[in-house]
Amino acid sequence: MELIDGKKVSDAIKITIAEEVQTILSQGGKRPHLAAILVGTDGGSITYVNHKVKACEQVGFASTLKTFDEDISEDALLDTIAEFNANKDIDGFIVQLPLPKHIDEQKVIEAISPNKDVDGFHPINVGKMMIGLPSFKSATPAGILELLKYYHIETAGKHCVIIGRSNIVGKPLSVMLSHKGYPGDCTVTVCHSRTKNIAEECKRADILIAALGSPEFVTADMVKQGAVVIDVGTTRVASSETKSGWKLKGDVKFDEVAPLCSYITPVPGGVGPMTICSLLMNTLQAARGKK
């Protein structure tokens, strides 16, 4: 069993990005610039945004963090988005989700210029990804593809089972992995809460991707000997072992599943670090004027 080390892969990709930034600057180009908008004081959101800003510094990007109180009006938020869309120095930006309930999240997503939508959430980017056209790809699925690539994990003709049909992981990943090319050409099955005999479906997987957000859902009896297991779950559960009072739990019962696997991602340190990495890669693409 080999552990897929998302931290290591992410660090390697960040070094490549940092080198590209230096090349751009040495050729008189502009420093890539990622901006983020954070509304409210949700603990998870603040942590994620801070990680993103820190990652920008690591690779030599410029970063801007604009924060708003929980009670900002939708119009004021949309005004800021319009400013960022128009600001030529900002190559890409994100609005950290979730947003407070009085703000229409979909309206906000669609207000972001598709050319700066480095989260890949705008319907036009989702549609282009689906059709197989160049686009900003949603960060978590793109990060998973990078992990498969880094470890040279074969995908063509493999049966990939994805548990979860979310817009940000399950659905886009199912399309990306069934596309022609590498990583891709998988036979893909999408399972979810209405799937019958989910253990049996999972057990058929050469590559099993758990993205349902239910801690330790995948147990040893659901995994084929030699399978590749990718755990996308990151649920905060109460814990007396940590100072914060919680720890992250994946969707896979790691201790009993790991011995069966050819490769497996831990939580934390597997898929998680790759998500920010994808965001940086998308921002670099945006800065280059490509998608």
Stretch touching a second copy by CB under 8 A, among 38-46, 48-56, 179-187, 215-223:
179-187
Residues 105-134 that bind a second copy (CB under 8 A): 106, 122-128, 130-133
Active site residue ranges? 52, 96, 119
Examine residue 179 and tell whether it contacts a second copy (CB under 8 A): yes
Closest CB to a second copy among 187 and 235?
187
Tell me if 95 sits within 8 A of 112, measured CB to CB: yes
Toward a second copy, which CB reaches closer, 127 or 259? 127
Q: Does residue 178 interact with a second copy by CB under 8 A? A: yes
Stretch that binds a second copy, among 96-104, 153-161, 227-235, 270-278 (CB under 8 A): 153-161
Q: Based on the shown chain and the rule CB under 8 A, indicate whether residue 33 belongs to the binding site for a second copy.
A: no
The minimum distance between CB 7 and a second copy, in angstroms, equals 31
Q: Could you give the C-alpha distances from 282 to 96, 256, 290, in angstroms and in order? A: 16, 36, 9
Among 191, 205, 218, 222, binds a second copy (CB under 8 A): 191
Near a second copy by CB under 8 A: residue from 58, 195, 235, 262:
195
Q: Which is nearer to a second copy, 21 or 176 (CB)?
A: 176
Q: Does 290 bind a second copy (CB under 8 A)?
A: no
| Closest alpha carbon to 215 in 191, 247, 188 | 247
- Smallest gap from Cβ 174 to a second copy, in A, equals 7
Query: Residues in contact with a second copy, total (CB under 8 A)?
Result: 35
CB of 105 or CB of 256, closer to a second copy:
105
* 196 makes contact with a second copy (CB under 8 A): yes
Q: Quote the least distance from Cβ 123 to a second copy, whole Å.
A: 3
Among 51, 66, 165, 236, binds a second copy (CB under 8 A): 165
Q: How far is the CB of 16 from a second copy (least distance, A)?
A: 29
CA 206 and chain centroid, separation? 22
Neighbours of 260 (CB within 10 A): 17
Report which residue type is found at 134. P
Least Å distance, CB 216 to a second copy, is 22
Contact residues for a second copy, defined by CB under 8 A: 106, 122-128, 130-133, 156-157, 159, 165, 167, 171-172, 174-175, 178-179, 185-192, 194-196, 201
